[in-house]
Amino acid sequence: MSLAHARAVAPDLHATDGTPDADRLALTRLTEWFLWLSPIVAPDGEDGVWVDTAGCAHLHGGEAPMMAEIRRRIQSLGYTCRLALADTPGAASALARFARVPCTIISPSTQRQALAALPVQALRLAPPETDALLRLGFRTVGALYDTPRAPLARRLGGTVLARLDQVLGLLPEPVQPIRPIEAIRERRSFVEPIATAGALATAIAVLVRAICETLEGRGEGARLVDLLCERVDGTVQAIRIGTASPVADPVHLSRLLDERIPIIEPGFGIEAMTLVVTRAEVRGAAVPTGELVGQDDVPQGRSNISCLLDRLQNRLGPGRVSILEPAASHLPEFSQTRCPASGEKGTISADLACSWPRPVRLLNPPEPVDVTIAGPEEPPTSFRWRDVHSVIRAADGPERLHEEWWRSADPYGVVRDYWIVEDNAGERYWIFCRAPLAEVPPAPPDWFLHGLF
Amino acid sequence: MKRHDPDTILLLREQIARIERHHGASGAGRRLATGLDDLDDHLKGGLLRGALHEFCGVRQDRALCARPAHFAASILARHPGQIVWLSGTPLDLHADGLHAAGLSPGRVICVEAASSGEVPALCEDILREKGLLALVAELDTPLTLTTSRRLQLAAETGRVTGFLLHRPAHRQGDRPLPPSACHTRWRIGSEPSILPFSPTALTPPPGPPRWRVELLRQRAGRPASWLFEVPEHDTPYSVSLASPLANRSVASPSSRHLHVAGAGAALP
């Protein structure tokens, strides 16, 4: 149906432009993702992936568990999928798209029978040939099995029969595997399987040294590194580390990898290890790894704490290690943002720093307080916060901040008047009252505590 | 030695000092000067580098620990180097407030642990790292003696100074801190300020804020207490804590640097 027709049926239909190039790129990336399953992967048309799983089924404990694992992993990526396992690429492609159930596994002997019920669109023919077949009355693939071949070839051309033979396995159809981007990888296999942490650390050190030489030669640094350990029973254990800035220092990388050794379960032993640099970037000017130590054992000059930051980030997860950066807002709670820390020293520009007195800590969110006020424009005479009553003896203010009406319409006309108040014990509080300006009759404003000085 | 030869004793003292320096004990330049002369005189130069120093607040500030944070930031602002600020709960630092205390927020690396139980282990890891100026860690439960000893050893290895800010959860704040292996323990409180004369205002504006800084315990030293006045500043980019006041001094509003003798004597 056309877009106009669809819009007539559903008036609030949302239509966006298609992006075929982006889709193709995404499909390529998804195809590369399947390298965990098998080294031979290829895209199939515009919306599918072929994976040659010959010899892979036993690693997952059988064909059905393998398909279940694939489905689970694809769903964890966020895609819905239809799977099919068959003897020939053509049959698998046809079943994945046109079978009744989302996941089909057919054995070689039942192939002919399983394909018989599929429509002719499953043969991956061009639209004119599909139309011709339909006009001639062939609705299913099975109808083509026993038709004499010569008249069919004369009417429709050779491709129909070629596709049919490929689907049935009579003609070979090789799958061209995609070649992944040149990734730096080093592999070492061991004479005897290793299982101890010390042996793993030694192997890691050897691999890291080799990888770092290649990285240095290319002038690149690693950002994402995967260590794949192939166990004796055939499974692959992987650990992955990330760094905040490109790194080619073997000490740094091996320290990050050594921290993850406890995650690896060696089982009966690890017989080979591969270190792959999944993401590499061009490195900036080399930072000297030694430290200048001054007279009193005080580190001077640029001290390299990027290894510490990477270790913390790998240990705690993303977003936990950050630097406060100023943001363009005069409201105190929005005047700063968190940026990931990268180990290089930054300096906050003094222009955006506020020149009004501000507390070192802000309560988030501001806590409401009960106040007793003297007058409408006067600071309160006492207030109650967290069940403690404080009598105010001095107050400085007000500092008026308008709420940001240019971001959303709700706070239009709402102002905050900040007061620095001191109580009888000398404690200083930063309280504010928040009220819309042009309210008639004026309602009593809400008072909040935003921080302590 | 039959007679007390002063030269020999001097030599032996120097040898002992060298051995102690090897283990990171006191020595010139191994201290973080606080910038306050009375404090530095009492501390023999300043806070010891490569050691742990605990801070806590009083009354309402116990749970929030804002004044100790300001104090720590103003000390760290005087010395170069990167600072890691570690917290088990989401960090509530305000960059403008740090800037007002003198500390450039670009020097502070904020680390948020998943839970406050992980904080001591992370502290140990960070304290071992050479190259940092200091680690400021926010704890909501006090450390046990063994944990604080481990952290002290880690700080000595990495020469990183540890500032521990105690922020007990609400309702637990009244209990005193248990003994620990930290080098010094501080309590930063407040005192009412001297209000300037303003007869007309219902509520007068406050005077310069006054802090009572108490050194509760010091390893190989005496506790003491001081009263400081933070000067009102015109230029917000250069803030420093003023010198101490005596308890009953009269501050003239114009003078900025008050040097009054006899401030807060060391407690016996």
Domain containing B57 — which CATH number? 3.40.50.300
Would you state the pLDDT for residue B28? Answer: 42
Give the pLDDT means over successive 10-residue stretches in chain B (268 positions): 73 80 53 84 86 89 89 90 90 88 88 89 89 90 90 88 88 74 90 80 81 88 86 48 45 36 40
Q: What is the full DSSP assignment across A361-427?
A: B--SSPEE-EEEESSTTSPEEEEEETTEEEEEEEEEEEEEEE--TTT-STTTTEEEEEEEEEETTS-
Residue B146 lies in a domain: yes
Instruction: Please check the confidence at residue A296 and state whether its pLDDT lies above 50.
Output: no
Residue A352 lies in a domain: no
Residues 6+ apart with CB under 8 A from A180: A32, A35
Q: Which amino acid is residue A132, in one-letter code? A: A
CA distance A51 to A434: 62
Whether residue B170 lies within 8 A of chain A, CB to CB, comes out as yes
A63 CA: distance to closest CA in chain B (Å): 40
Question: Burial level of B241, CB count in 10 A (0-12/13-18/19+)?
Answer: buried
CA distance A350 to B238: 12
Taking contacts as CB-CB distances below 8 angstroms, the residues of chain B near A354 are: 96, 99
First to last CA, chain A: 67
Instruction: Give residues 5 to 64 of B whose Cβ lies within 8 Å of A.
Output: 27-30, 49, 59-61, 64
**Domain termination residue (choose one: A233, A262, A282):** A282
Domain identity same for A52 and A109: yes
What is the mean predicted confidence (pLDDT) over A263-281?
Answer: 86
Would you state the pLDDT for residue B238? Answer: 41
Domain identity same for A258 and A163: no
The domain total for chain A is 3
Q: How far, CA to CA in Å, does A197 sit from each of A265, A274, A312, A358?
A: 10, 16, 21, 51
Domain identity same for A399 and A425: yes
Nearest Cα residue in chain B from A388:
B60
Would you state the pLDDT for residue B111? Answer: 92
Contact B109/A322, CB-based, under 8 Å? yes
Whether residue A321 lies within 8 A of chain B, CB to CB, comes out as yes
Query: Do A263 and A299 contact (CB within 8 A), yes or no?
Result: no
- Of B268 and A382, the structure prediction assigns the larger pLDDT to A382
> How is residue B23 written in tokens?
């283990």
Domain identity same for A192 and A262: yes
Nearest Cα residue in chain A from B202:
A378
A248 CA: distance to closest CA in chain B (Å): 20
- Report residue A285's pLDDT band, with 50, 70 and 90 as the boundaries: low
What is the DSSP secondary structure assignment for residue A140, as one 8-state letter? B
The pLDDT tens digits of the residues spanning B24-81 come to 544 445 788 887 888 888 888 888 888 999 999 888 888 888 999 999 998 998 888 8
In terms of Cα–Cα distance, which of B123, B228, B130 is closest to B182?
B123
Q: Which of B69, B192, B203 sits opposite A395 (nearest CB)?
A: B203
CA distance A25 to A271: 35
Helices marked H in A237-348: 250-259, 306-316
**Domain termination residue (choose one: A116, A139, A168):** A168
Domain identity same for A263 and A216: yes
**Domain membership of residue A107 as a residue range:** 21-168
ipTM confidence score: 0.77
Residue B148 lies in a domain: yes
SS3 A218: helix
> How is residue A360 written in tokens?
């070192």
Instruction: Please check the confidence at residue A294 and state whether its pLDDT lies above 50.
Output: no
- Among A361, A372, A420, the residue to mutate for chain B (most B Cβ within 10 A): A361
Query: Do B109 and B81 contact (CB within 8 A), yes or no?
Result: no
Query: Do A34 and A74 contact (CB within 8 A), yes or no?
Result: no
Residue B264 lies in a domain: no
Residue A102 lies in a domain: yes
Dmax (CA) of chain B:
78
**Rama region for B113: left / alpha / beta (φ>0; ψ in -120 to 50; rest):** beta
Q: Which of B28, B93, B205 sits opposite A396 (nearest CB)?
A: B205
- Among B116, B203, B233, the residue to mutate for chain A (most A Cβ within 10 A): B203
Would you state the pLDDT for residue B27? Answer: 45
What is the mean predicted confidence (pLDDT) over A317-331?
Answer: 83
Would you state the pLDDT for residue A75? Answer: 92
Taking contacts as CB-CB distances below 8 angstroms, the residues of chain B near A308 are: 84, 126, 129, 131-132
CA distance A325 to A336: 5
Domain identity same for A75 and A198: no
CA distance A77 to A87: 27
B185 CA: distance to closest CA in chain A (Å): 21
The pLDDT tens digits of the residues spanning A354-368 come to 778 888 999 888 888
In terms of Cα–Cα distance, which of A220, A218, A219, A238 is closest to A228?
A238
Whether residue A192 lies within 8 A of chain B, CB to CB, comes out as no
Would you state the pLDDT for residue A181? Answer: 62
Would you state the pLDDT for residue B62? Answer: 86
Instruction: Please check the confidence at residue A46 and state whether its pLDDT lies above 70.
Output: yes
What is the mean predicted confidence (pLDDT) over A425-437?
Answer: 87
CA distance B195 to B185: 31
> What string of H, E and C letters represents the secondary structure of A250-263?
HHHHHHHHHHCHHH
Here the CATH number for the domain that contains residue A257 is 3.30.1490.100
Helix axes A306-316, A250-259, angle to 10 degrees: 20
**What is the residue-averaged pLDDT of chain A?**
83
Query: Do B99 and B105 contact (CB within 8 A), yes or no?
Result: yes
Domain identity same for A75 and A206: no
Q: Which of A296, A324, A358 sits opposite B110 (nearest CB)?
A: A324
Query: Do B188 and B55 contact (CB within 8 A), yes or no?
Result: yes
A381 CA: distance to closest CA in chain B (Å): 8
- Of A417 and A409, the structure prediction assigns the larger pLDDT to A417
> How is residue A296 written in tokens?
């009193």
Domain identity same for A382 and A436: yes
Domain identity same for A41 and A131: yes
The domain total for chain B is 1
Whether residue B135 lies within 8 A of chain A, CB to CB, comes out as no
Residue A446 dihedral angles phi and psi, to the nearest 5°? -90, 140
Instruction: Please check the confidence at residue A201 and state whether its pLDDT lies above 90.
Output: yes
Q: Which amino acid is residue B265, in one-letter code? A: A
Contact A394/B204, CB-based, under 8 Å? yes
Residues 6+ apart with CB under 8 A from B90: A364, B112
Contact A296/B27, CB-based, under 8 Å? yes
Residue B75 lies in a domain: yes
- Among B94, B126, B174, the residue to mutate for chain A (most A Cβ within 10 A): B94
Contact B193/A422, CB-based, under 8 Å? yes
Residue A42 lies in a domain: yes
Domain identity same for A145 and A196: no
Whether residue A328 lies within 8 A of chain B, CB to CB, comes out as no
The pLDDT tens digits of the residues spanning A57-113 come to 766 778 888 999 999 999 999 999 999 999 888 899 999 999 888 898 988 888 888
Instruction: Please check the confidence at residue A194 and state whether its pLDDT lies above 50.
Output: yes
Domain identity same for A27 and A148: yes
Instruction: Give residues 226 to 255 of B whose Cβ lies within 8 Å of A.
Output: 236-237
Q: What is the dihedral of CA A160, A161, A166, A169, to 10 degrees?
A: 150
Whether residue B194 lies within 8 A of chain A, CB to CB, comes out as no
**Domain membership of residue B76 as a residue range:** 31-190
Nearest Cα residue in chain B from A341:
B109
Query: Do B133 and B83 contact (CB within 8 A), yes or no?
Result: yes
Instruction: Give residues 75 to 114 of B whose Cβ lies within 8 Å of A.
Output: 80-82, 84, 90, 92-101, 104-114
